[in-house]
Amino acid sequence: MNKCGRKKYIKTNLRQMTMETIESQQDGSVSDSVAESESAHMQTQTGQNSVPTLAQVATIAEKDESAESEGVIDSHKRREILSRRPSYRKILNELSSDVPGVPKIEEEKSEEEGTPPNIATMAVPTSIYQTSTGQYTATGDMPTYQIRAPTTALPQGVVMAASPGSLHSPQQLAEEATRKRELRLMKNREAAKECRRRKKEYVKCLESRVAVLEVQNKKLIEELETLKDICSPKTD
């Protein structure tokens, strides 16, 4: 518990710092160009994933003090700023159109398994699911939509759609609402997993691109030095 508290403290402050950086970058001119957005986006990414150094943490602590004196900063405003950035997939796909070496992130859905596309999100989970209300396994206290859903490729929403005419009593309506919510949560769960996978892929792509560009840069510098040597007058 304390662990988490501390961790949250650091994480939250780091995030805040990152956001402040973004805000200061975009200050006055909310970026409408892709390039600007990209840089801001990248900062967030690295900010989120990198480890704060001691100095950073110290800075964070200082910032936190001032932040406390200011009170709670409008998180909605930050959200707005952050959410206007293009998704990393868009960025990468734009990059890939410019740079041939950069692969696109497509909705391949691991086609090597040869599974129909609509099965991907529907793969009936055999592992334990965790919800905010507790845990339930595939064999245990499963949500109704999983129990009833046959293992077909049909989306569960379709499978479980109750005939509209049969939903009259408040209880049935409540059940339907719960079922819809569970379904949405399950889909979102899967979507989040897929999203993280793509994000990792995206980061790897960027890292490899950096490596390539560094090599390229090094070569160009060497070439420049060589040319300088050739062109420079050999007096002395």
Partner DNA sequence: CTGAGTTCACGTCACACGAG
Partner DNA sequence: CTCGTGTGACGTGAACTCAG
Angle at 194 between CA 116 and CA 182, to 5 degrees: 85
Any alpha helices (H) in the chain, and if so which ranges? Answer: 2-26, 34-49, 54-70, 75-83, 88-98, 117-120, 144-148, 156-160, 170-231
Asked whether 103 and 96 are in contact (CB, 8 A), the reply is yes
132-171: which residues touch DNA (CB under 7 A)?
Answer: 132, 157
Q: Is 194 in the site for DNA (CB under 7 A)?
A: yes
Q: Is 80 in the site for DNA (CB under 7 A)?
A: yes
Which region among 78-86, 138-146, 165-173, 207-215 touches DNA (by CB under 7 A)? 78-86
Least distance between DNA and beta carbon 47 (Å): 8
Joined tokens for residue 160:
């479980």
Least distance between DNA and beta carbon 215 (Å): 24
Which region among 6-14, 137-145, 164-172, 208-216 touches DNA (by CB under 7 A)? 6-14
Which region among 28-36, 138-146, 178-186, 225-233 touches DNA (by CB under 7 A)? 178-186
Kindly tell me which of 15 and 209 has the beta carbon lying closer to DNA.
15
